[in-house]
Amino acid sequence: MIAPYRKHKDMDMNKMPEGMDHSKMHHGKDAHQGMSEHDHHAMMIADFKKRFYVVLALTIPIMLLSPMIQHFMGVNWAFAGSSYILFALSSVVFVYGGWPFLTGLVEEVKAKNPGMMFLIGFAITVAYSYSVAIVFGLQGMDFFWELATLILIMLLGHWIEMKSVMGASNELQLLVQFMPADAHMVMPDMVHDVKTDTLKENDIILVKPGEKVAADGFILEGESYLNESMLTGESKPVLKVKGDKVIAGSINGNGSFKVTVSHAAKDSYLSQVVKLVDDAQKSKSQTQLLANTAAKWLTVIALVTGIGTFLYWYLTGQTLAFAMERMVTVIVICCPHALGLAVPLVVAKSTALSAKHGLLIKNRTAFENARKITTIVFDKTGTLTVGKFEVTKVVSLNKTIDENELIRLASALEQKSEHPIATGILQKVKDLKLAIPATENFKAITGKGVEATVEGKKLLVVSPGYLTENKLTLPDGFTANDTETVVFVLIDQKLAGYIALSDEIRAESAEAIETLKQENIKSILLTGDNKKVAASVSKTLGMDSFFAEVLPHQKLEKVKELQAKGEFVAMTGDGVNDAPALAQADIGIAVGSGSDIAAETAGIVLVNSNPKDIVSLILFGKATYRKMIQNIIWATGYNVFALPLAAGVLFNQGIVLSPAAGAVLMTVSTVVVAINASLLKVRG
């Protein structure tokens, strides 16, 4: 259930801003149990719409029977008992139209947290009570028509605003809907349709042309192009072949294929994204806390100013009706509704939009702090480069072993590794149709390579750094061009040869670095690769500097060095071996994590490894923060202008605001905030 009339600090799918839960109006506490939040919210909008039209129909006769309106029009339609009919119609408007606000007032008093609903409920109760007293004998002029128009405008404002909030919520709803309800499960004798949520690990499902993939998994048989744009932001369809990972919710092209399910629906990538978005929308940032504090102060100011205004006018000789009217207008103008929505609406929009573009926000503060970044440290492999190493040459230094034998032995050690270099070597062996031998006593040498026993020989595949450390000399005539990465093969502690691989620079990298320059953000390359490769990549892309031959545990130190110079550092890495550096950085961005979105140390996860996504993230973070500040300024600024007018400071010049005009101003400010939030976009 949606929490009733909660102060709207949390704008998410489970809690609407205060004044937005009307489930208790006349349905009972658990009337909507089992209904989706989305349907519940739609019912609330329909309820407000109905109340608005009923009050609109009653407001017309109320205005026609009102002595003040008749006086304006120069007519006298008063008849015996007309004041009692006016009282009866206004009572219906007060109780039926004002019910959401009155129950809200009670809830806020119970929670000892007066806010929006308390102020509106208080204002309409004062206006109604005073007008009733006039009907039953108190001298003065009632303001039933002001009461009716005030409630009418408040209902309209809430109705429009809830539709805006629902628009922001819909972004997340769209993600949820991307999961198909049914799947074709492959049984030994037939294909059987089952509910997606019943699938479990190792089940096999069939995906037909044009269908959505029902579960995360790996292609067992067949191939096809998949459209993953709604999940990862990658606009082009991606070719998936046997062994490739597929994400639930992606749309299949013309081929059909079978998938081995890797986990149940509740653990799928899409489910994790929805949970992540939901958590991000609940989490607070400094900007949200600022808005909440301002809203609390505005509530206090409204009550103090309202009562002060009433006492001032009444004690300086004005009528009780005039003093009451000023108080009601001040309290309505001061309602902190726009302020309460200023940040939550932007949060709802930005987190859901981000998820659709493959930018997953885990920490709101990290996302909003993107505007402060002065330096970005890029992990080279797979971010600035494609991350697919291809073998460019194999050189044997041992006359008894040819090139094919050298790479065959090396591949034995690499089959246990997921490093891109290992993938490159294994791909070459596969292309040469060589059989990969078995290994014994396998051991990784952190940051330097791997070692194992293969066919009775002690084999090492290591980086140049290992040779230097162990005082082994590089072979005569050894050359590697600036873009090649080289690994050396040692057999029984003797240098047997080397394998050179190269990794292509991504087409988007140069453009991303150029955009960062325009934003005055320095880009630094961080790699375990040799200085020649690092210098070449850094120069080609126009980066500010580079750190080469850096071991995983040294990455943290490099980030600290930059911070010591006063830089606000964002670090990009794969979230596994870069975890300490990601945690140390002011903003940790885990990239290329695909369905492993639980990169714990990173505040932000990018589904694709595209460097343009990192730039998009920073620009979007800045845009989001700007929207929040614009909304906060607007939501508080209009009070600075309207509050003195409501209190009557220009009364002697003939300028005063009626309660209805105050309600219009408050509604307009709320709608402006909602529209401004909805204009937020991710720049590609």
Work out whether strand 375-379 and strand 569-573 pair parallel, antiparallel, or are unpaired.
Answer: parallel
- Angle at the Cα of 164 from the Cα atoms of 160 and 165, rounded to 5 degrees: 115
The answer to whether 359 and 233 are in contact (CB under 8 A) is: yes
Least Cα distance to 179 among 245, 249, 259 occurs for 249
Task: Please pick, among 10, 12, 216, 379, the residue that the annotation labels catalytic.
Answer: 379
C-alpha span between 377 and 399 (Å, rounded)? 44
Strand order in the sheet with 359-361: 359-361, 604-606, 587-591, 569-573, 375-379, 522-526, 545-547
C-alpha span between 684 and 673 (Å, rounded)? 25
The answer to whether 51 and 148 are in contact (CB under 8 A) is: no
Least Cα distance to 85 among 112, 67, 106 occurs for 67
C-alpha span between 134 and 392 (Å, rounded)? 95
Residues in the chain: 684
Distance of CA 670 to the CA centre of its chain: 22
The answer to whether 506 and 494 are in contact (CB under 8 A) is: no
Q: Which two tokens stand for residue 419?
A: 């490093």
Helix ranges (H only) for 248-385 are 269-282, 286-315, 320-333, 337-356, 364-368
Q: What is the DSSP string of 447-478?
A: TTEEEEEETTEEEEEE-HHHHHHTTPPPPTT-
Helix ranges (H only) for 604-658 are 611-647
* Phi, psi (deg, nearest 5) at residue 452: -170, 170
In the annotation, is 578 catalytic? no
The answer to whether 389 and 485 are in contact (CB under 8 A) is: yes
Known catalytic residues are 379
